[in-house]
Structure 1
Amino acid sequence: MAELQSLEDLGGAVGTAAPEAPVHVQKLDSQGRAYATGKRKDAVARVWVKPGTGKIVVNKKDYAAYFARPVLQMILQQPIMLTQRAGQYDIMVTVTGGGLSGQAGAVRHGISKALTYYEPELRAILKKNGFLTRDSRVVERKKFGRAKARRSFQFSKR
């Protein structure tokens, strides 16, 4: 066996290869849809994505009728607009729990995850913008001996 004179010789002798990036595969159900669950506060959204005309249905209603405030509609469309996939997918959502703001965040999280299951190459851009991270902030529970979670009862000297 030849003697090694430097680290360059070691690289050639061992035959090290650059580590390959993990290969993400498409996750589809039997009907060709990508399914994901999104969560935010107390809201849970179940999202199905399939190729289509861009129709978004939330709890059997058009998303604009369900989320009447324009800010909530904008939150819903963020992952679609960011990835430039407007009008390419039909999205069907069932969402329960929480209020409208939490539900909109849950739907956004679910759409982002479902898009990555359908098109794994979109993962990098969605992750960079923070759409795949579950916002874990929830309401703090009320403690006994307190008016709310942290607020004390009013002090009375007499």
Structure 2
Amino acid sequence: MSAETSISTATGRRKEAIARVRLIQGEGKIVVNKRAFEDYFARETDRIIVNQPFEATNTKNKYNVTAIVDGGGLTGQAGALRHGISRALASIDTEFRHTLRKGGFLTRDPRAKERKKYGQKGARKRFQWTKR
């Protein structure tokens, strides 16, 4: 690994989604599953979520991102990609770590779907009680 091109890899997770991220110095291109970033994430909110670590560290258009995302839905995948990008940025420069930690980007979001319980309609929903 030379001093000119810094390469960093990291794994991000959110719900059931896993993102394997590779950061290379470049002009800010993001490729997700061999597709353009804008094509893969159609929703603007998902694109904003993915770009948050770059905006927090003022590194927009400085790194190219190549990511392989698997599992879950699109919003979960966007969260996993954000987590992976944050971890990769933190490994590139230790000064980014404080900023990313303060923004909450390095913490894996622990929320997941609650399991359905037996004898019930869903995770929380109960059958309607009848008096007679």
Say whether the fold is shared (TM-score over 0.5): yes
Report the TM-score range of the alignment, normalised by the length of the smaller protein: over 0.9
Residue 41 of structure 2 is matched in structure 1 by: 67
Of 98, 113, 120, the residue aligned with 1:139 is 113
TM superposition score normalised by structure 2: 0.92
Instruction: Kindly report the root-mean-square deviation, in angstroms, between the aligned alpha carbons of the 2 structures.
Output: 1.7
Residue 86 of structure 1 is matched in structure 2 by: 60
Report how far residue 87 of structure 1 moved. Answer: 1.1
- Structure 2 residue 112 is the aligned partner of structure 1 residue 111: no
Name structure 1 gaps, 5 residues minimum.
1-26
- In the alignment, residue 72 of structure 1 is paired with which amino acid? D
What CA distance in whole angstroms lies between the structure 1 residues aligned with 2:127 and 2:71?
A: 30
Residue 47 of structure 1 is matched in structure 2 by: 21
Report how far residue 156 of structure 1 moved. Answer: 3.9
Q: Which one has a bigger Cα radius of gyration?
A: 1
- In the alignment, residue 44 of structure 1 is paired with which amino acid? I
- Structure 2 residue 73 is the aligned partner of structure 1 residue 99: yes
Higher-strand-fraction structure: 2
Aligned residue pair count: 130
TM superposition score normalised by structure 1: 0.78
Counterparts of 1:6-25 in structure 2, within 5 Å, are: none
Q: Deviations over 1:33-75 (max 9, x none)?
A: 2111111111111100011111000111111110011111000
